[in-house]
Amino acid sequence: MGSKPTKPIATTPWHLILPALAVLLSFLFLVARRKRQAGRQGLLLAFSGAFLLGITLLELIPEAYNSGNPRLTGVFVGVGILLQIVLEFLSRGAEHGHVHTQTGGKFPLLLLLGLSLHALLEGVPLENNREFLLAIVIHKIPVALILGGFLLRSGLSAGAAWTFMVLFAAMTPLGALSGRIPVLEHGHPYVLGLVIGVLLHVSTVILFESSEGHSFNLRKLTAIVLGMVLAYLA
């Protein structure tokens, strides 16, 4: 009980490479096209939120509850939800596709701190879960496009914007590596419970916000259903 299952995902550490690449290539796409607006990423964001929620429900929650004390795991899930609420005071909602802040041309340190802590936590399950790797990569793309568009129109220099995105991109791989720390490895079910709480908050907020003005949108509903179905099939 409390030990982390051994499920190596590959010889090549794709769980360290792909999340970072998803962020950096998305930002490079914006820079290359000289686009300061992220464009319409609503459908991709809705799909990614549904896929992330599906993987959390079908893969992460059973793993956490089956490998640790269920009641204590539930406590950590609740703490994770509260933690994400606190982090959003720093990140201003960037994790679910909205950046509600102004930089005034200054480096947004609090935004970076909030996003980095979130990205660090969501990297923890990557060491042992192929399906979650796909969910995180899909989730990173629209978030990076929206965040990158915000940075490009915020008045930051190109160097500062790239520094922000590189640091943000590095956090999820660092989170995956942190799972090898003995104390975290021993408490894996409870660390995973904390991550589950963070992901439940983010993914459900994405789905709630995907309905603009609470109006029915068939395309977004289709994207959400497709994300959930693919999570089941993954």
Q: How far apart are CA 58 and CA 75, in angstroms?
A: 19
pLDDT digits (tens, 9 = 90+) for 54-101: 999 999 999 999 988 999 999 999 999 999 999 888 877 777 666 656
DSSP helix, strand, coil percent of the chain (3-state; round to 5) = 75, 0, 25
Query: Could you give the 3-state DSSP secondary structure of residue 7?
Result: coil
Report pLDDT for 215.
Answer: 58
Q: Kindly give the confidence (pLDDT) of every residue in the chain, 234 residues in length, as a single tens digit, with 9 standing for 90 and above.
A: 444 444 444 456 888 899 999 999 999 998 888 655 544 577 888 898 999 999 999 999 999 999 889 999 999 999 999 999 998 888 777 776 666 566 566 778 888 898 899 999 989 888 777 778 998 999 899 889 888 888 888 888 889 999 999 999 999 999 999 877 887 778 889 999 999 999 999 998 888 775 555 556 788 889 899 999 999 987
Phi-psi bin for 7: left (phi > 0), alpha (psi -120 to 50), beta?
A: beta
Report pLDDT for 211.
Answer: 58
* Amino acid, res. 21: L
Report pLDDT for 129.
Answer: 75
Of 47, 23, 39, 26, the closest CA to residue 210 belongs to 47
Report pLDDT for 43.
Answer: 82
Global confidence as pTM: 0.83
* Cβ-based neighbour number of residue 221 at 10 Å: 14
Of 124, 108, 97, 119, the closest CA to residue 163 belongs to 108
Q: Which residues of 183-205 are buried (b: 16+ CB within 10 A; e: fewer)?
A: eeeebbbbbbbbbbbbbbbbbbb
Report pLDDT for 2.
Answer: 47
Q: Are 97 and 209 in contact (CB under 8 A)?
A: yes
* Cβ-based neighbour number of residue 63 at 10 Å: 21
